[in-house]
Amino acid sequence: MRIGLFGGTFDPIHLGHLLLAEVCREELELDEVRFLPAASNPLKENGPIADGPQRCEMVQFAISGNPAFAVDRREVKRGGPSFAVDTLAEVAAENPDAELFFLMGADALADLPAWREPGRVLDLATIVAVNRGDVPAVVPPGIESNRVRFVAMPACDLSATDLRRRAAEGLSLRYRTPAAVIAYLHDKYLYRI
């Protein structure tokens, strides 16, 4: 089994996330990609706006119909700051025969030295990094580069920050995230001020 793990805040999930996962799945011939919504990102100043179960639910809506994609709620259930190393260690123990790939965009790769135990993260999984929009993924100083693979994705300028701002301003989210996510946001009145 080749398992892709894709961590993020997903506040909310958008088409950039989905395209990243699909491009990596295809390029690396992954059997599945598990989306891992974080309870909170230790490196982000502000916590998420939507709560953990809501962000998991939006991911579930967004990936529905794709048998290769799944949502893994363990970080939200665990609570507190979500450290990739803890999650990777758990998934590795549960899947001793699997090869793990940890997917991320260029901005996340740049932050890797600030993660908890980056060396152990690299022991547990191959990092798979994509460009974020026009910004290429670059291995940061101090990181073992032979454990990082690069995948090119069509430049996508979307961010969750931009979607939240658009939702707050009552602007269209159509084609930025799946229709089922938009319906959920409307239903729950999320990101409105």
Q: Which of 4, 10, 84, 143 binds ligand ATP (CB under 6 A)?
A: 10
Query: Do 158 and 181 form a contact (C-beta atoms < 8 A)?
Result: no
Longest dimension (CA), the chain: 48
Measured CA to CA, the distance from residue 91 to residue 73 in angstroms comes to: 12
Does the protein bind ligand ATP through residue 159 (CB under 6 A)?
yes
Interaction of residue 54 with ligand ATP, rule CB under 6 A: no
Provide the mask over 77-106, with x wherever binding to ligand ATP is found by CB under 6 A and - wherever it is not.
---------------------------xx-
The size of the interface with ligand ATP (CB under 6 A), counted in residues, is 18
Q: Which of 23, 50, 151, 156 binds ligand ATP (CB under 6 A)?
A: 156
Residues in 116-155 at the binding interface with ligand ATP, rule: CB under 6 A: 130, 132
- The torsion region of residue 117 among left (phi > 0), alpha (psi -120 to 50) and beta comes to left
Nearest to 8 by CA among 160, 117, 188: 160
CB of 9 or CB of 82, closer to ligand ATP: 9
Pull the structure tokens for residue 148: 């990082």
Contact (CB, 8 A) for 117 and 88: no
Residues that bind ligand ATP (CB under 6 A): 8-11, 16-17, 20, 104-105, 107-108, 130, 132, 156, 158-161
